[in-house]
Structure 1
Amino acid sequence: MIALVSAPSNLGLQPPIAGAVPGTAKAPEALREAGLYEAFHVRGAVDGGVILPRRYIDDVRRREGTVRNQDAIIDHARRLAHRLVALRTAGDSPLVLGGDCSLVIAAGLATRVTGDGGLVHVDGHTDFRHPGNSASIGALAGEDLAAAIGRHIPEVADIDGLGPYFDAAATAHVGCRYDDPHLAEVDQAIALAVPADQIILHGASRAAARVLATAGLDRGFWLQVDVDVLDPAHMPAVDSPHSGGLSPEELTIFLEIVAPRAWGASITVFDPDLDPDGTHARTVSDIVSQGLVRLGEDASDPAAD
């Protein structure tokens, strides 16, 4: 059974302008207003509750070698992971409505506890900035894939000694643009990287089949979906839009195929502040309610392993 979890975090993002805070924390309620919760509840989904973050602080004077809101991110990751483990133990498939991409850290902690396999990271960017390739780390939402496989500072990549949260050999990235500055590095670091242009050229079904055929993902995986994988023509309500992305139809097809194998999923980076009339919230709601309706149906049972 799908359990909807609200995780209204904006902790991993840079402020959109000086003195402001990112709007992604408003996403779960904007998606509720767009009908997403109702669409799942009529199909039997349950309410998995809400995990509230600490206050967002644009701590520009933070200590060198740390990330924004670091302590708050760690605290939120622990509490969200605890909820995910409880839902998984109860036999539910959590669908986390965020929030920014740092939510994958909680999913990683939960995965280490439950033994639920790998990661499928769907994002318009590789999110692979880390201390080894950049002198300007600080916004974990642009560094989450690196942290997920242990390439970041230990404070976020090895919480409670559980890192790396996902085995790089059981990690796939889908959807970055062909000119992403870290694509070549990611292609060498993880099992599979499928840029958006390959999906547009060869089809979403083929990309999904490649993911499901990847060794290490056969025992299931966490599915993280950053909606900036969509082209800005369809989804401008994100913090870093980039042309060359997927259409809603392509993303929906991909999700329909891979979601049954996933034990849980997170939807991130939709910003209602950039969607005053709710048009783009409805787009996200339609994609998620159709693409993830079979979330977790074919995921392995860790208790049986």
Structure 2
Amino acid sequence: MISLISAPSNLGLRPPEPSAVPGTSKAPEALREAGLHTRLLAAGGADAGVVIPGRYRDVVEPGHVRNEAALIDHAVRLAERIKAAVDAGHAPLVLGGDCSLVVAAGVSLAGRDAGLLYLDGHTDFRHPGNGGPVDAMGGEALAAAIGLHIPEVADIAGLGPYFAASRTVQVGCRDDDVDASLVRASIADVVTASEVEADPVAAGARAVGFAGSGFWLHLDVDILGPAVMPAVDSPDPGGIDVDQLVLLLQRLAPHAVGADVCIFDPDLDLDGRFARLLADVVVAGLGALGSEVTRRVR
């Protein structure tokens, strides 16, 4: 059974412009308005409520990430909600929010030998070891998930690394991503957007082959091209189309212990058309979430 958890966080993102805050915190309610909850509850799902984040502040201290204390606090509380769903035999579907939510998933699954499939148009691999200061977790979440970030976010309560690099696969990054080769050398595999475009089902099978059954599935909707999904934090040219994403998710979802959906920004979708599109993708692609997960993970 899918257990819906709303996590309206924007704590891992830079402000879109001075004095503004990112709109991703509005995504769960925009998706509810688009009918997502009604459709999944009618199919047998459950509403597990909302985990409210702390206040967004546009302040970064050297050597730390933006909104660090609030982000860690939210991750710990969200992890407890995810863990409760998994322990009950449910498949948590976390509606965010930004990519830093994968840290909460990692904290919740620490010690359960879960893999990670990181579906994202970007590699999100900035960390202290690959140049430049850390800043916003939205562009650093994959690095944190496998223990390559500062310990404050990559080793909460001594639980890091949250996911084994040997069972982590990045899926859907643009072929010209500057960190793709570095990521490929650091985790089990990278499946680029062009490889997904060529054969989404085969790409999904390849990813599951490395991650095994019982992985966390992270979905940043900027894996889609901006022509079909412009309402995201960082749209970039390229990306896959809706049909390809649905086929990919259908191959992955049954083997996932849970999933999060991130980076949709309702501030860029004033008439709700992209929220309705994303609701369709989630229902079609993630409707069988967790149905084939081995008991070992749970």
Category of TM-score, reference length = shorter chain: over 0.9
Q: Distance in 1 between matches of 2:176 and 2:232?
A: 19
Q: Which runs of 5+ in 1 are unaligned?
A: none
For residue 303 of structure 1, report the CA deviation from its aligned partner.
7.0
Q: Distance in 1 between matches of 2:202 and 2:289?
A: 19
Encode CA deviations 1:237-272: one digit per residue, 9 max, x unaligned. Answer: 011101110101000000001100001000000000
Number of residue pairs matched? 298
Contact 1:116 1:219 (C-alpha < 8 Å) held by counterparts = no
Aligned residue for 1:231, secondary structure, equals coil
1:123 — aligned with what? 120
Letter of the 1:259 partner, please give it. A
1:196 — aligned with what? 193
What aligned pairs does 1:116-265 form with structure 2 within 5 A after superposition? Answer: 116-200=113-197, 202-214=198-210, 217-265=211-259
Q: Distance in 2 between matches of 1:116 and 1:286?
A: 31
Contact 1:116 1:263 (C-alpha < 8 Å) held by counterparts = no
Letter of the 1:72 partner, please give it. A
Identity, % of aligned positions: 54
Aligned residue for 1:47, secondary structure, equals strand
Please identify, of 75-84 and 128-137, the stretch whose mean Cα deviation from structure 2 is larger: 128-137
Give the TM-score of the pair, scaled to structure 2.
0.98
Aligned residue for 2:163, secondary structure, equals coil
Q: Distance in 1 between matches of 2:107 and 2:294?
A: 18
Q: Distance in 1 between matches of 2:66 and 2:176?
A: 26
Aligned residue for 1:266, secondary structure, equals strand
Q: Distance in 2 between matches of 1:148 and 1:89?
A: 21
2:105 — aligned with what? 107
Task: Spell out structure 1 runs of 4+ moving beyond 3 A.
Answer: none
Contact 1:221 1:264 (C-alpha < 8 Å) held by counterparts = yes
Letter of the 1:70 partner, please give it. E
Contact 1:118 1:167 (C-alpha < 8 Å) held by counterparts = yes
1:15 — aligned with what? 15
Letter of the 1:288 partner, please give it. V
Encode CA deviations 1:180-223: one digit per residue, 9 max, x unaligned. Answer: 110000011000100101112x2101101101221xx2241000
Q: Distance in 2 between matches of 1:283 and 1:32?
A: 13
For residue 63 of structure 1, report the CA deviation from its aligned partner.
2.3
Aligned residue for 2:100, secondary structure, equals helix
Q: Are residues 129 and 7 of structure 1, via their aligned partners in 2, closer, same or farther at CA, if it must alter by over 3 Å?
A: same
Letter of the 2:41 partner, please give it. H
For residue 136 of structure 1, report the CA deviation from its aligned partner.
3.1
Contact 1:231 1:245 (C-alpha < 8 Å) held by counterparts = yes
1:35 — aligned with what? 35
Q: Distance in 2 between matches of 1:190 and 1:69?
A: 27
2:263 — aligned with what? 269
1:290 — aligned with what? 284
Give the TM-score of the pair, scaled to structure 1.
0.96
1:81 aligns with 2:79: yes
